[in-house]
């Protein structure tokens, strides 16, 4: 069972990391557009559309990655003081009441939205010769399915925590490893 959880975590992490490279490409695109607009006086009419699409794709695909890393916003001021079983119970209720209905609606509406866009070969109307929108709109249901899979993994983790009284292990995160190494290094350097 743990292998299945880790597999979905790895897929979510890999997709999130792959799409995070869009931020680098977006940085270069914005820099080029600013240079072309102000230094060369030759702005690209399609650049704004492409920037919106790249940012939107990166944002959508980061959802499952962030959920896999337990990085979504929550009221940790109170939540962190609760015992693990109470945390898991609250999470489980919230997953069933808000998360699953919301993400299922996202997948359904996103699929409809993307299918209609593909059927009419939709292009952006912000510019005269706008880029196609249907590839970007196909990201919506894909991101929703990935988020739903990761959410199901989190639900299983909640059930395991309710049963065992402790949260099951997660795959180590690079940030956690670096923070642990930094804490160890600081504690070693602080000794006389």
Residue 178: band (very low, low, confident or very high) from pLDDT cuts 50, 70, 90: low
- The answer as to whether 53 is a domain residue is yes
Distance CA(6)–CA(101), nearest Å, equals 24
- The answer as to whether 162 is a domain residue is yes
Contact 63, 147 (CB under 8 A): yes
Q: 84-127 pLDDT, tens per residue?
A: 999 999 999 999 999 999 999 999 999 999 999 999 999 988 77
3-state DSSP assignment of residue 80 = coil
For the cut 90, the answer to whether the pLDDT of residue 33 exceeds it is yes
Domain total for the chain? 1
Residue 132, phi then psi, degrees to nearest 5: -65, 140
The string of DSSP codes covering 131-168 is: PBSHHHHHHHHHHHHHHHHHHHHHHHHHHHHHHHSSPP
Residue 12, phi then psi, degrees to nearest 5: -60, -40
For the cut 70, the answer to whether the pLDDT of residue 57 exceeds it is yes
- The answer as to whether 41 is a domain residue is yes
Does 169 or 41 have the greater pLDDT score?
41
- Tell me the whole-structure pTM to 2 decimals: 0.82
């Amino acid at each position: 069972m743990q292998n299945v959880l880790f597999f979905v975590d790895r897929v979510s992490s890999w997709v999130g990391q792959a799409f995070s490279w869009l931020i680098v490409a977006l940085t270069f695109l914005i820099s080029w557009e600013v240079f072309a607009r102000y230094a060369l006086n030759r702005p690209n009419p399609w650049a704004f559309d492409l920037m919106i699409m790249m940012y939107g794709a990166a944002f959508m695909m980061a959802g499952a990655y962030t959920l896999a890393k337990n990085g979504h916003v929550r009221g940790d001021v109170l939540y962190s003081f609760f015992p693990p079983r109470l945390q898991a119970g609250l999470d489980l209720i919230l997953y069933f009441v808000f998360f699953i209905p919301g993400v299922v609606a996202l997948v359904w509406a996103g699929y409809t939205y993307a299918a209609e866009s593909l059927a009419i070969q939709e292009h952006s109307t912000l510019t005269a010769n706008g880029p196609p929108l249907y590839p970007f709109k196909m990201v919506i249901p894909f991101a929703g399915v990935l988020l739903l899979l990761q959410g199901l993994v989190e639900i299983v983790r909640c059930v395991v925590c309710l049963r065992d009284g402790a949260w099951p292990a997660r795959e180590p995160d690079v940030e956690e490893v670096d923070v642990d190494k930094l804490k160890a290094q600081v504690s070693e350097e602080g000794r006389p």
